[in-house]
């Protein structure tokens, strides 16, 4: 049987161009995004309109997961992360300055929907962007390291969600904006052209052999 060749991360990998930059930025971004994703999931049950916000969370999560990959292929990595961070931070800031003081209003579930949709968008991008930034043989290991640190930090999310508002939403907004800024330092490879020019193929000449 062929031996399994484990592709470990070595010091030589970090000497490659942009590898160390992408590696550490991805870890920080994954920690922020996954922590905020689970933070909003816990806060869903603590708001006044519990059932309405739960439905909005489900809709926004499905929407973010559905369109994140499509937009990644259309506009690229940095623009996709920027859109997700902009939507999440805009919704979070509106919740921070208006929604928390008016949790019974009809606009509150809409603001929560936008903030959750943006963070769900980036949550899926953290997994999808790995193959864009690293070689395929290293992508799985890099993703595993980033997810390990993210899970370690998300262990404190339930405690953070129980803090008195507006502390949880302030942390959400600050970390979302910081992670969005960090994604601007990604150096993505040139994307392939969406439209492939059709090559004109000349019809092959048929030759008839006499018997």
More confident residue, 197 or 38: 38
Write down the pLDDT at residue 194.
Answer: 39
If phi over 0 gives left and psi between -120 and 50 gives alpha, with beta otherwise, what is residue 109?
alpha
Write down the pLDDT at residue 9.
Answer: 67
Are 183 and 128 in contact by the 8 Å Cβ rule? The answer is: no
If phi over 0 gives left and psi between -120 and 50 gives alpha, with beta otherwise, what is residue 135?
beta
List of residues 6+ apart from 91 with CB closer than 8 A:
111, 112, 113, 114, 115, 116, 117, 118
Angle at 42 between CA 112 and CA 128, to 5 degrees: 75
pTM for the whole thing? 0.82
DSSP per residue over 28-66, as a string? HHHHHHHHHHHHHHHHTTTSSSHHHHHHHHHHHHHHHHH
Could you give the angle at which helices 77-97 and 107-128 cross, rounded to 10 degrees? 150
- Please give the mean pLDDT across all residues of the chain: 85
Q: Both tokens of residue 140?
A: 């799985």
Write down the pLDDT at residue 196.
Answer: 43
Tokens 């499905």 belong to which residue?
Answer: 62
Decide if pLDDT at 195 tops 50.
Answer: no
Q: Both tokens of residue 68?
A: 């994140």
Rounded to the nearest 5°, which phi and psi values hold at 153?
A: -75, -30
Closest by CA to 145, choosing from 37, 27, 22, 29, is 27
CA 26 to chain centre: 10
Decide if pLDDT at 17 tops 90.
Answer: no
Decide if pLDDT at 189 tops 90.
Answer: no
List of residues 6+ apart from 172 with CB closer than 8 A:
36, 39, 40, 92, 115
- Where exactly are the structural domains of the chain? 16-185
Average pLDDT over residues 102-128: 93
Q: What is the pLDDT of residues 94-105, one digit of tens each?
A: 999 999 999 999
Q: What is the pLDDT of residues 146-183, one digit of tens each?
A: 999 999 999 999 999 999 999 999 999 999 999 999 99
Instruction: Please report, rounded to a whole number, the percentage of residues in the chain having pLDDT higher than 70.
Output: 83
> CA-to-CA distance for 53 and 123, rounded, in angstroms?
19
Alpha helices by DSSP H, the chain: 11-14, 19-43, 50-75, 77-97, 107-128, 130-133, 136-154, 157-161, 167-182
CATH 1.20.1250.20 fits 16-185, yes or no: yes
Closest by CA to 112, choosing from 159, 180, 45, is 45
Q: What is the pLDDT of residues 27-37, one digit of tens each?
A: 999 999 999 99
């Amino acid at each position: 049987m062929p031996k399994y060749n484990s592709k470990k991360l070595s010091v030589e990998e970090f000497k490659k161009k942009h590898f160390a930059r992408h590696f550490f930025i991805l870890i920080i971004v994954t920690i922020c995004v996954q922590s905020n994703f689970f933070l909003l999931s816990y806060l869903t049950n603590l708001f006044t309109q519990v059932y309405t916000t739960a439905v909005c969370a489900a809709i926004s999560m499905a929407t973010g997961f559905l369109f994140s990959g499509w937009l990644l292929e259309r506009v690229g990595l940095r623009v996709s992360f920027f859109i997700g961070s902009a939507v999440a931070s805009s919704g979070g800031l509106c919740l921070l300055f208006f929604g928390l003081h008016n949790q019974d209003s009809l606009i509150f579930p809409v603001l929560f929907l936008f903030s959750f949709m943006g963070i769900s968008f980036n949550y899926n991008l953290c997994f999808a962007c790995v193959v864009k930034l690293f070689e395929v043989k290293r992508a799985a290991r890099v993703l595993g390291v980033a997810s390990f640190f993210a899970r370690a930090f998300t262990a404190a999310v339930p405690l953070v969600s129980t803090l008195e508002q507006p502390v949880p939403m302030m942390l959400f907004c600050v970390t979302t904006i910081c992670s969005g800024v960090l994604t601007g330092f990604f150096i993505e490879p040139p994307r392939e052209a969406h439209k492939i020019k059709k090559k004109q193929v000349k019809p092959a000449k048929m030759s008839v052999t006499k018997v």
